[in-house]
A and B are shown apart, each in its own frame.
Chain A
Amino acid sequence: MTIMKKLLTTAVASAMMVGSAQAEISNDTVKIGYLADMSGTYRDLAGPNGLKALEMAIADFGGTVNGAKIEVVSADDRNNPDSSSSTVRRWLENEDVDMVAGLVASSVTIAVTKLLQENDSLGIVSGSAASSITNEHCTPNHIHYVYDTYPLANGTAKAVVQEGGKEWFILTADYAFGHALEGDVTKVVEENGGKVIKTARHPFPTSDFSSYILQAQSSGADVVALANAGSDTTNAITTAGEFGLTQSGQTLAALLLFLTDVHALGVNSAQGIQLTTGWYWDLNEETRAWSDRFMEATGVRPTMVHAGIYSSTMQYLNAVKATGSDDAQTVRKQMMDTPINDMFATNGKIREDGRMVHDMYLAEVKTPEESENEWDLYKIVRTIPADEAYRPLSESKCSLVSSN
C-alpha cells in the first residue's frame, strides 16, 4: 500500500512539476539537514554549536520564507561515510531535505556530495578543509564556503617565506589532508624562492611529538611548518615550546589552526604563531555583534566554521526567497549571481566550481601582554585578497570550469 501511495504521490508531484514553473517551494517547506561531527575529533569546530549557528540564521531570517516553513533536521556524522550516506540518502529520498549543511570530515563530504549530485540537491560545505572538494571532486550540487587547504598554504607559507624563512621542514599528518597541504606548501615555498629541505610524515593521530621536534631542530631549517590539524597540531606546538624550538631561532608555522585550538593552547604556548583564517570574531563591529549573540547562546566564541554556517544559510534562504524556489540549480545559480556582503565576507563570490572565494586573513597569535581575555587571541597582520588566496580557475581540474 505504501508503495502505491508513494507511486501516486510521485506521479502527482511530477505532474505538478510539469504543470507549474519551477518557481515552487516543494511541500511548502524548506528543509535543511545539518550533518556534522557531534561527538568526535571535529566536534568543536562545527558540531552542536554549528547547529546553533544554523538555527540563529533561520530565526534571524524570520522562520519562514515566502510563507513556507523552514525546518531543520540534524545528525551526527560519526566521522563515518557509510553512516552519513545512509542518513543523507534518507533525507534526500524520503524526507525531502532541500539543502545539506555542515559537512566536516572530507571522507563524509565527498560521499555526501556524490549523493547530492545523484539526487540533484544542494549542499553547502563549511567544515571540510580539502581543496579537492571543489577541484577533482567538484559537482554542480555543492558549494564550499569557508576555507580550504589552498589559501591556508598560500597565505601562511607565502608570508613566512617573504619574511626570510627560506629553508623549510614540514611535519605532515600522514593522510590525504596532510599530503595535500604539504604539496600546496611546497609549491608556494618554491615559487617564492624558498626550499623544503626535509619532510617527516607522522601517523594520525600522534600524541608525542618530541622526536619530530628534535628532527626539526637538527635539520637546521629556518621554518618548521605543521601540516596537520586538531590535537596533532596543538600537541606539536606544545612540544615545540617545551623544547625551545623558537628560542633557537626557528619559526613555527601552523597551517591549519582553529580558534578553538588556539584557545586550548593558550597565548603562552601559542604566541607569535602565524596562521591563515577565513574569519575572526574580533574583526569589526559587525563580527563582534554577531559573536556576542553566538556566545550568549553557546558560551564560546565562534570559529570561522560557525560563522560560515550562519552566513551560508542566510545566503541560501535569501536565494530561495528571491527565486521563490527550492530547486537546487535555480538556487545555486541565484547564489552564484549574488555577491556576499555580510558579517562573514565582503564581496564574497561563488565561482562556477562551487568555491566561495572571499578575503582571507593572515593572523598572528597575540602575546600574553597583548591578550585582554581568554578569547582575545589574534591580531590580523594582513588581508589576503580573494583572488590571490584561492586556487585560480585556470589551475582547476574541475569539470564544471568552462575553460576545461
Chain B
Amino acid sequence: MGNPVDPGDIQKSMIKDEKADKRRKNILNLVLLALLLVAPAVIYPVFLMKILCFALFAVAFNLLLGFTGLLSFGHAAFLAAGGYTTGYLLSTYSGLTTEMGIIAGTLAATVLGALFAVVAIRRQGIYFAMITLALAQLVYFGFVQAPFTGGEDGMHGVPRGHLFGIIDLENNLAMYYFVLAVFLGGYLLVQRVVGSPYGQVLKAIKQNEPRAVSLGYNVNQYKVLAFVMSAGLAGLAGSVKTVVFQLASLNDAHWHMSGEVILMTLLGGTGTLLGPVFGATFVVNLEYQLSQGPLGDWVDPILGGIFVLTVIAFQSGIVGEVQKFVKKNLG
C-alpha cells in the first residue's frame, strides 16, 4: 500500500485486462467450437449427442442457479416434459417434421415452468428448492399414471424423422450437427441473456435481493422470467434427447435427475458459462466409462465421492478453478 497509484492507471490496466480476457475467451470458444465440429470423426456421435443434450440441460439449469441464485430441485420435470411431449407427438403424428415436435416439447416445458414459477417464486432458499422438488414429484406421479408415457416401460420407437421435412435424421452425422446447432443456439441465448442489462439485474438479485428490490426492480418478475426460460431450455434438451435416443423414460423425471444436474453444474463451475458444459461432459463420460469397466458396480460410490470432493475442495468447479489458476499465473 506504500506507493500511491494513479487511479487512471488502474482503470487502464483493467480495461486492458478485460480486453485480454475477452480475447482469450474468444480464442477458447473458437477452439472448442472447432473441436465440436470435428469430434464425430473421432468419438462416437450418439455419445457426443448425449453429452450435448445434458450440457444444454446443465446450461439451462445454471441460468437459474449460477446467474439468479435460485436452486431448483425439480428440473427433471422439465427435461421429461419436453421429452415426453416431443416423443408423443412425433410417434402419433407421422406428418409432423422433427423440428415441430421439438418446438412443441420446448413449449410444453415452458408452460410447465411458468406454472412452477408462479407457485414457487415467492419462496426463498431451501423452501424454494423444496417446493420445486414437491411440484416435480407431482409431475412425476402424473407421468407414471398417464397412459401415453408407457409408465415404467417408457416410450419407445420415437421416429427421428426429417428435419424441415428434408434432412434425414436417421443419419447419425446429420443428427449430430443438428444437435450441435441446437446446443449452440441454447448456449448463445444464455450467454446473451447473461450479458444483457436483464442479466445484470439477475446478478444483482443473486448478490443482494433486498437491494435490488429497493432499487425499484420488480424482482419476482425477473425471477419468473429466468425460471421460465431455464425450464424451456431444459425442455428443449429433453426434446432433443428423445429424438436422439428415440425414447423417453421415467428416469428423466426422477428426482435423481434433478440431483444429477446440480452435480454437473457445481462440478463444472456455477456462475460460469462454460462450467456446466464441462461438468456435464465430465459426469456423462465418467458414468459411461465406469459402467463399462470392471468398476461397473462402483459407479454410485465413485460419483458420491466426487460430490464430496467437489464440495470440500473445488467449490468453484472445473472451470472456476481453471479461471482462478489463469488469473493467478497469467493475468
Contacts and interface: CB of A to CB of B under 8 A. Distances in A.
A81 B47 contact: no
Given A81-B251, A83-B287, A204 B152 contact: yes
A85 interface: yes
A376 interface: no
B153 interface: yes
B95 interface: no
A39 B154 contact: no
B241 interface: yes
B152 A89 contact: no
A393 B245 CA distance: 31
Nearest to A79: B251
Contacts of A3: 41
Interface stretch (A68-76, A273-281, A345-353): A68-76
Interface string B36-58: 00000110101100100000000
A39 B249 contact: no
A16 interface: no
Given A2-B41, A39-B297, A82-B241, A87 B153 contact: no
Interface in A95-114: 106-107, 110-111, 114
Interface in A223-262: none
B44 A85 contact: no
B315 interface: no
Interface stretch (B195-203, B264-272, B288-296): B288-296
B46 A90 contact: yes
Contacts of B163: none
A179 B151 CA distance: 10
A80 interface: yes
A313 B157 CA distance: 28
B288 A85 contact: no
B152 A106 contact: yes
Contact of B153 (A85, A114, A176): A176
A87 B156 CA distance: 17
B17 interface: no
Contact of B44 (A94, A177, A179): A94
A109 B46 CA distance: 19
Given A76-B291, A106-B152, A38 B241 contact: no
A95 B325 CA distance: 39
B251 to A, nearest CB: 5
- Dominant SS at the A interface? helix
A38 B246 contact: no
Contacts of A89: 44, 46
A105 B97 CA distance: 31
A110 B153 contact: yes
B174 to A, nearest CB: 14
A175 to B, nearest CB: 4
- Dominant SS at the B interface? helix
A86 interface: yes
Contacts of B157: 114
A90 B44 contact: yes
Contacts of B297: 38-39, 43, 47-48, 76
B245 A81 contact: yes
B150 A176 contact: yes
Contacts of B300: 39
B247 interface: yes
B263 to A, nearest CB: 15
Nearest to A105: B152
B153 A130 contact: yes
Contacts of A296: none
B151 A82 contact: no
B202 to A, nearest CB: 32
Given A76-B297, A82-B245, A2 B292 contact: no
Interface string A155-176: 0000000000000000000111
A366 interface: no
A86 B50 contact: yes
A107 B299 contact: no
B41 A82 contact: no
A86 B47 contact: yes
A85 B247 contact: yes
Interface centre among B41, B47, B152, B288 (most CB of A within 10 A): B152
B291 A87 contact: yes
Which are the 9 A-B pairs with shortest beta-carbon distances? A175-B152, A76-B291, A107-B154, A176-B153, A76-B296, A38-B297, A176-B151, A38-B296, A81-B249
10 contacts: A38-B297, A39-B299, A80-B251, A86-B245, A89-B46, A90-B47, A106-B153, A107-B249, A114-B157, A204-B152
Interface of A: 1-3, 38-39, 43, 47-48, 73-83, 85-87, 89-90, 93-94, 106-107, 110-111, 114, 130, 132, 137, 174-177, 179, 203-204
Interface of B: 41-42, 44, 46-47, 50, 144, 150-154, 156-157, 241, 245-247, 249-252, 287-288, 290-292, 296-300
Given A86-B288, A107-B250, A110-B153, 11 more contacts: A2-B42, A39-B300, A76-B299, A89-B44, A90-B44, A107-B249, A111-B247, A114-B156, A114-B246, A137-B156, A177-B153
